[in-house]
Amino acid sequence: MIGIRVVGDMRVVGEPDEDDGIITRFYCMIYDVTESDDDDEGEKEVEIGGAEVAIIHVGQADNHGVSLVDALDADSGELEALYWVYFDENGEYKDKFVAGGGRDLLYISDVKIEERYRERNVDLAIVRQLSRSFGGSCELVVIPYESEPHAKRWSMLGFVVSTEGEPTGFMHHQQAYVAPRVVETDEPGRFKVVPNLTRDEIEKVN
DSSP class of residue 150 equals H
What CATH number is given for 2-178 in this structure?
Answer: 3.40.630
Question: Could you tell me the pLDDT band of residue 103, with boundaries at 50, 70 and 90?
Answer: very high
Beta carbons within 8 Å of 145's beta carbon, 6+ residues apart = 151, 154, 161, 168, 169, 170, 171
Spatial contact of 161 and 167, defined as CB atoms under 8 Å apart: no
Confidence of residue 202 (pLDDT cuts 50, 70, 90): very low
Q: pLDDT grade, residue 200 (50/70/90)? A: low
Asked if residues 161 and 126 have their Cβ atoms less than 8 Å apart, the reply is: no
Q: What is the pLDDT of residues 13-70, one digit of tens each?
A: 789 999 999 999 999 999 999 876 666 567 889 999 999 999 999 999 999 999 999 9
Q: What is the DSSP string of 33-87?
A: EEE-SSTTT-EEEEEEEEEEEEEE-HHHHHHTT--HHHHHHHH-HHHHHHHHHHB
* Cβ-contact 48, 29 below 8 angstroms: no
Task: Let me know: does 126 contact 113? Beta carbons within 8 Å.
Answer: yes
